[in-house]
Copies of this chain bind each other. A is one copy, B any other.
């Protein structure tokens, strides 16, 4: 069995941002030399997620607006700790914080429009994503 572990670092200028990381993940799959296996991509900070969808600007805005509608900014009990990012914790929960991708014949096996996004909901500080590849 082969494996590869890498960490991607993010420090987005805006509080909320969708960063397309598809090429980065594809490059790590190549680097791993795994031909058949699985690639886990997981946000390690609890106010960020991983979203797999089309890289279309209207859709990305629709997505962020959906999350704002379901988990709006506002007063949360969590803010009694001094934080102000309660909505970001909940948004990450609704999006999901990780995705596992198949690796087939040495390549990331994505659908025709699947793009991988790091979804930041409380940026402007350093965050991390773990990429774990296993297979052979």
A5 x B58 contact (CB < 8 A): no
16 A–B contacts from the bound complex (CB under 8 Å): A38-B38, A38-B132, A42-B101, A45-B112, A46-B53, A54-B89, A57-B77, A58-B78, A61-B77, A63-B89, A66-B93, A93-B94, A93-B95, A94-B94, A111-B128, A134-B134
How many copies of this chain does one complex carry? 3
Establish whether residues A81 and B56, one from each chain, have CB atoms under 8 Å apart when the complex forms.
yes
Residues of B near A101 (CB, < 8 A) are 42
Distance A5 CA – B45 CA, assembled complex (angstroms): 27
The answer for the CA separation of A3 and B87 in the assembled complex, in Å, is 38
Given contacts A43-B111, A45-B112, A46-B111, 16 further A-B contacts (CB under 8 A): A1-B1, A1-B136, A3-B36, A5-B102, A38-B38, A42-B102, A52-B97, A58-B76, A58-B79, A58-B86, A59-B76, A59-B89, A66-B70, A97-B99, A98-B100, A134-B135
**A interface residues, tally (CB under 8 Å):** 59
Q: Does A71 contact B (CB under 8 A)?
A: yes
Measured CA separation A43–B99 after assembly (Å):
12
